[in-house]
Amino acid sequence: MYKIAKENLPDLYEAIAETNTLYIPVKKAGQTNFEQWTRSAEVDIKTLKTVKSPKDAFFPQSENLYTCGKEGKKITITLEALTDESFVVFGMKACDVRGVEVLDKVFLAEPVDTFYAARREHGIIVAMACNEPELSCFCKVFGIDCTEPSGADVITWLIGDELFWRPVTEKGEMLTDSVKRLLSDGDDAAVEAKREEISKIVSKIPNMRLSLDGWGRDDKLERFNSPLWEDLYKPCIACGTCTFVCPTCQCYDIKDYDTGHGVQRYRCWDSCMYSDFTLMAHGNNRTSQMQRFRQRFMHKLVYFPTNNDGMYSCVGCGRCVNKCPQNLNIVKVIKAFKKEGV
């Protein structure tokens, strides 16, 4: 265990950035999101949740796949280079780290997504334990411990005027060695006391006691055919906000863009809540907003865990709870089914 004074954190960021691209929570125009660190950036590691999740670092909102060019009758295809330089994502919370593990199940399964795999190979996750979980949080429901994030390369705790630092993987040890000149020996007792303090807060949050009884099972039809969906979906305006702030949503579209000098093929995030999602020549398999609404929650709570050893495609971060303009979210769905005894 190591530690560093909070006032010396800018030196730590600079040391990390000497050999890695550093992504960190940065405040701009009153909102905090993960961005590439610069000396002039207003770093904000105190904010509990960034507006968007940091999945961007591994699964960008938009990325080029290849470029086609034409010279006379000759056509060339130039593949986009894969990430080959190391980068650090600093300050990810436990829910967001689990979100990356969910994405692993999708993009690292056969056939492996080489763009994602390259980023996972070169990416280093420095997680940060939560200090004060909010009422919208429900990570514990999915077995996530916000006091000690698992799945990261380094775990940190912000306690008073110090940041405590514990490497847990080979990548984490290598990163620690590169900045060890700035670190001093830390006290495990201080971290354990902080974890106990955070756990007491977690125990008082109502959403942390949500029941998942009946979800994640092989028998899908009872939930799928429930009349509850007809009432639940009606306020939905299909804005897609829930999917774009979600750490685990992985839907994307592939498009072509004429640059005037060739055609770029790129992929970008898409949303299962949109009427043209997966639209093909014959039409769309889900023709109503109710069907699209139902698909989103059935996937997260039934289809995904059924196909991935019980792992849910929700991490309880609460971003959809905070951001939905119609106050529709996965918590409301879970509670509605519990109330009706479905």
Q: What percent of the chain has pLDDT over 90?
A: 86
* Whether residue 262 sits in one domain with residue 182: no
Residue-wise pLDDT tens digits, 271-314: 988 888 877 666 667 778 999 999 999 999 999 999 999 999 99
* Whether residue 235 sits in one domain with residue 142: no
Res. 40: pLDDT tops 90: yes
Residue 264: strand pairing partners: 67, 257
* Whether residue 231 sits in one domain with residue 320: yes
Long-range contacts from 331-337, C-beta under 8 angstroms, 24+ separation: 331/138, 331/207, 331/210, 332/232, 333/232, 333/297, 333/301, 334/210, 334/211, 334/212, 334/215, 334/301, 335/210, 336/228, 336/232, 337/214, 337/215, 337/223, 337/226, 337/228
149 falls within a domain? yes
44 falls within a domain? yes
Bridge-based pairing state of the strands 154-159 and 123-128: parallel
Question: Which strand (E) or helix (H) includes residue 299?
Answer: none
Is the separation of the CB atoms in 313 and 305 below 8 Å? yes
What's the structural domain count of the chain?
2
- What is the C-alpha separation between 159 and 150, in angstroms, rounded? 19
* Whether residue 264 sits in one domain with residue 204: no
Among the candidates 180, 209, 238, a domain finishes at 209
Among the candidates 176, 209, 242, a domain finishes at 209
* Whether residue 232 sits in one domain with residue 159: no
135 falls within a domain? yes
Residue length, the chain? 342
Residue 234: strand pairing partners: none
Among the candidates 160, 181, 209, a domain finishes at 209
Res. 104: pLDDT tops 90: yes
| Mean pLDDT confidence for 126-141 | 95
Res. 342: pLDDT tops 60: no
Range of the domain at 197: 2-209
Mean pLDDT of the chain: 93
Residue-wise pLDDT tens digits, 241-277: 999 999 999 999 999 999 888 899 999 999 988 888 8
* Whether residue 53 sits in one domain with residue 192: yes
215 falls within a domain? no
232 falls within a domain? yes
| Mean pLDDT confidence for 133-156 | 96
Predicted local distance difference test score (pLDDT) of residue 96: 98
Residue-wise pLDDT tens digits, 203-249: 999 999 999 998 987 777 889 999 999 999 999 999 999 999 999 99
* Whether residue 62 sits in one domain with residue 10: yes
